[in-house]
Structure 1
Amino acid sequence: MGRKVTIAAATLNQWALDFEGNLDRILQSILDAKEMGATFRSGPELEICGYSCEDHFYESDTFLHSWEVLAELLQAPLCKDMLIDVGMPVMHRNVAYNCRVIFLNKKILLIRPKKILCDDGNYRETRWFTSWKKDKEVEDFHLPRMIGNITGQKLVPFGDAVISTLDTCIGFEICEELWCPESSHVPLSLDGVEIICNGSGSHTELRKGYVVRDLVKTATMKCGGCYVYSNLRGCDGQRVYFDGTSSITLNGHVLSRARQFSLDEVEVITATIDLEDIRSYRDSKRSNAHLSSISKSYPRILVDFSLSPELDTVLPIAQPIEWPCLSPEEEIAQGPACWLWDYLRRSGQGGFFLPLSGGVDSSSTALLVYSMCTLIMENVQRGGDPKVLSDLRRITGDPEYTPKSASELCNRFLVTCYMGTDNSSKETKQRAAALAAAIGSYHMHITIDKAISAVLEIFSTVTGLFPKFAVNGGCPRQNLALQNIQARMRMVLCYLFAQLMLWARDRPGGLLVLGSANVDEALRGYMTKYDCSSADINPIGGISKTDLRRFLHYAKEKFKIPIIGDIISAPPTAELEPLKQGQLTQTDEEDMGMTYAELSQFGRLRKIENCGPYSMYCKLVQTWSSSYSSKQVAEKVKHFFRCYAINRHKMTVLTPSYHAESYSPDDNRFDLRPFLYRANWSWQFRAIDKQVEHISSVKRSASSGSIKQSKKSENVSKVRTGVTV
């Protein structure tokens, strides 16, 4: 009797609407799974069309082309004698569903629609799909003729069912169903389903790598069974990065897992399990056994096929492995670097252009490009995915090119430019040059004062007025305008150089302009609209200043670049106001009226804990009680919300950023809030003022009571000692 089965989980770097490329990657994963001895292969969510098609799911073309890809898979000789589970959108009775399609030897066995859709954070699934509400029920699905001509079928089961082979039973969850409180794996396990597959599209966030690990371990520890988790990897055409980490888990132990970040487009993991281990484990859980006896059964699709070979006694079974999680610094070093590579190779451009100021933000961005180059070098040297080298040669325009080092590659991919003015210090210029030399970027230094003066001359010619900085007697409006024109002129020059630098270097294509505004500055609106924070993409736009500093400490040691220490210790500054005797007079935190640490706390309370001004004050007045008075806390909260309201409109043009932080203010994607506010928050601020007065009165009463109690105690003491009161 067969009892050992080898199962494969595929991690794929798919791309929305890239049907040809997606098909190739699916076929490659099937080939890899077969070569590893697997008889069952499961893949990620919506792998045929790509997860991030979004409003393209309203188009019939998306469904048509998905069926065409499935037709190719059904007919591929490679798929013979393997049970295959793929993800695609399916229209059933004029309703769109996010589905798994399970097939074997040119026959579709089951179409299983998603039961629980995800609508939080970055996800809007109910905009395009409907959840399947008919628990443990199936209906007839009429196959398109192009598929029926291949399979010889007209009708196939559609709904909440399981696959029963000659040796085991297989059930399905889809992404969110693992996360929700009533996960399908519980009733599936109680009904005797031994292998549960989850095709997922789960994105990465800093410090969240443990979540999937704990979920799959807990699910199989509680219910027993084998959980096959297949996730997407890479940039699917959006801000998020799908982080791989596919896994195979048995009875609470991880047997195999894929890497979280990688440049490989296809990664297949397998594990050989003994089905008897599941059966004995479940039978020993007596509470589960009693619940199973009264569990309602799923419809079973009977299949004359066995996952296990007849003679399987010599097959070695997989042993449990450790699943260590990356540190936040490692996640920053690898995640945005992989995202940048996906964006570069799919955009048709030849590299990146970065205005490098020598500060924490732009230096972090430059180091992420260098980290990308390091990952490419490692892939090429170990003979990894050949697509990496072919994409590299296509981007550089050299069909014979093989990089010799990460810094040599960085010189081809990254152009950095220090854009100085009279307000720039020599220290920042030196730090930018030193970092560029350390990573090998093609570096330039330009002075942009003449361009700024030319623009101001136009204004002066029209109005007869010439604005001044505040230190020279100008008003705040003049001072701000003079700062903004410097920042905006840098943006204009960024795009000029990005379009022409490869032409000047006798290379084809253009460069993608990189932004370097962090998530805290975006939240506060501490940036000039349409300045050099306006770019094509921003790899650090979802990362806090605090985490970027930690990343720089990590990068200093990992890449052996000493100048990073000077960058970390330098005070953050925009350098847009005149220097005083060559020294800085402007720092970011003074300009903002709050520290970066305070900004992070504001962001978490606003987004994650869903606080308005009043509830934020009520939380912070306790949290900050040792540092600030209640009135000072109130002023800080009011200042934050005034700035947030005044600058919220900037989020509508925020550069598309790598999503990494759960309090990102990214407009219309992750953070759905208005961009026009009543900036004085009159009602909300009055509520805060009342609370401040209440706290003050309570303290006054307590203080008065304390004085009275002190006098009373003093009188009692005098009576006891015989002193006349």
Structure 2
Amino acid sequence: MDNFGFLKVAAAVPHVRVADCDYNTERMAAMAEEAARRGVEIVAFPELGVTAYTCGDLLLQQTLLDAADEALERLVRATRKLPLTLIAGAPLRHGSTLYNCAVVFTQGKVLGVVPKTYIPDYGEFYENRWFASGAGISDEHIAVAGQQADFGADLTFEVNGAEFGIEICEDLWTAAPPSSQLALNGAKVIFNLSASPESVGKHAYLRQLVAQQSGRAIAAYVYCSAGFGESTTDLVFAGNAVIAENGCILREAARFSPDEQLVVADVDIERLEFERRRNTSFRANEGATENTVIEMKIPEGLRGVALDRDIDPMPFVPKDEADRSERCEEIFRIQSHGLAQRMVHTRSEKAVVGISGGLDSTLALLVTARTFDFLHLDRAGIIGITMPGFGTTDRTYNNALELMRGLGVTIREIPIRDACTQHFQDIGLDPGCRGAAYENAQARERTQILMDVANMEGGLVIGTGDLSELALGWATYNGDQMSMYGVNASVPKTLVRHLVKWAAATEQDAATRATLLDIIDTPVSPELLPADAEGRIAQKTEDLVGPYELHDFFLYNFLRAGYGPAKILLLAEQAFDGSYDRAAILRWLTVFVRRFFTQQFKRSAMPDGPKVGSVTLSPRGDWRMPSDASAAAWLRELDML
């Protein structure tokens, strides 16, 4: 399990014949071979898959139980050369008692047997008629497949460093699933062998259950249920197979398929370890009880196979349009409610916003307008100030004015050219020298105007800078980095565009909508350098610091997942295949790492702003980092790529 922390797991749904153990284990062996070809490291089969689940009272017959044990022994032998671990369901005798079990084996050796804890006896289920509960069984041994193996409900298994646990069907549906304790004992992957029949509405609940348990346990959850061939008499089985990780479903089978299915996914053990380290509530109960861990090393499988995992190039932006719309509405509410509270607390009825005609200031103005509506304040109390400078173009200038008119706010125009020219003279700066002082003087002049007008009007300066700019330090210290409340502080640039687009489609008149759409199409720029000969924007941010879609991807995976540069590069190559080559990704990843570390001092002094997502850089909230931290270890890793 050294493939960047990924573990390739599978849920197999084979064809079965009720009570035909030879046929059933032959299908398992065939699917195990397919799994090995695909680089799978652990594969699970459905509950009682050796016999089939719906055998009824045949499960009490000596002939069937003997046939099951013999077929299981042949399956263990037949798969001994495969570089993977198998989990198969079978009815096993222990003393005079019958148990519904999961058998774990690899390389011809049975590692252990886990009995089902909760035995349902309601509705269509009559399992108490045949099986005993495995609750309380620990540190025992059982005869299985011609071997002696550990037997217990609390067993966990560690294969090549990846620890996993097992529960069976009903165990998941209870108030206190065994998997919760297994996770606290160290299991990062839970396998559930199930034979859950279908009924209307059940599937949606099942998906929620699997996803939620994976999130609650901060684990991967591999659910494998019986399919075609198991449906007999009064019950229908749809072949549900679901692989989830920390609350999100990664892969699932097609329901009601007549074909065998092998659902494969790479689960991220490294990410789960990171999440458990940062979650103090999980750590509070971790390792509270002792259990037996069975360790086993097996030969590496096909490490070169492709990553069976969807890597989202836009982790901050939902793919589904309905989900994206819902997310946008929620973010606007969070932003506007945060600002509303600040205005009520400070008894302010005016707000001052610098309007550049760019995306960030547009979003800030939209949020401020919504806030005023929420507080039943006249939008005339919003003072929008456009401050043309040396790099302002007609396009952004006109868009700024049209936007303010459309939203019904008070418009002020305060050019900064003369003030900056005077300032250059005062400090002895040659205006032809277009370095940091030339650019930052303009940003600070604008901020001074906003602050002073806010003092005159008794209002608040609303910050416009976004999360991506804070991550890169793409802001002027004590210039646009400063405000009295930064409404966009935890909104990444890739999401800003969608928020403005959503607002244009849902809340504005036709003229304002047209203005917003043109703002969306305008290149991102601070407009601090003069326009080109045709009057177009000459200073494009993404030409200088790199594409924001890459930087937002880096930011999410660095902060939210805790990945290092090598793993981020691996994921980015898959996510942006066809858009950016390895050299480009590596170049901008190096820029990201360097800037993220060197620009922390700006984030340490950032103003208050609402947290809207799981990634934020507030020094009072989710991210605490010294301004003088060294990036040496991260840069060294980059140098080796």
TM range (shorter): 0.3 to 0.5
The alignment's TM-score, normalised by the length of structure 2, stands at 0.46
Q: Which structure has more helix as a fraction of its residues? A: 1
The alignment's TM-score, normalised by the length of structure 1, stands at 0.41
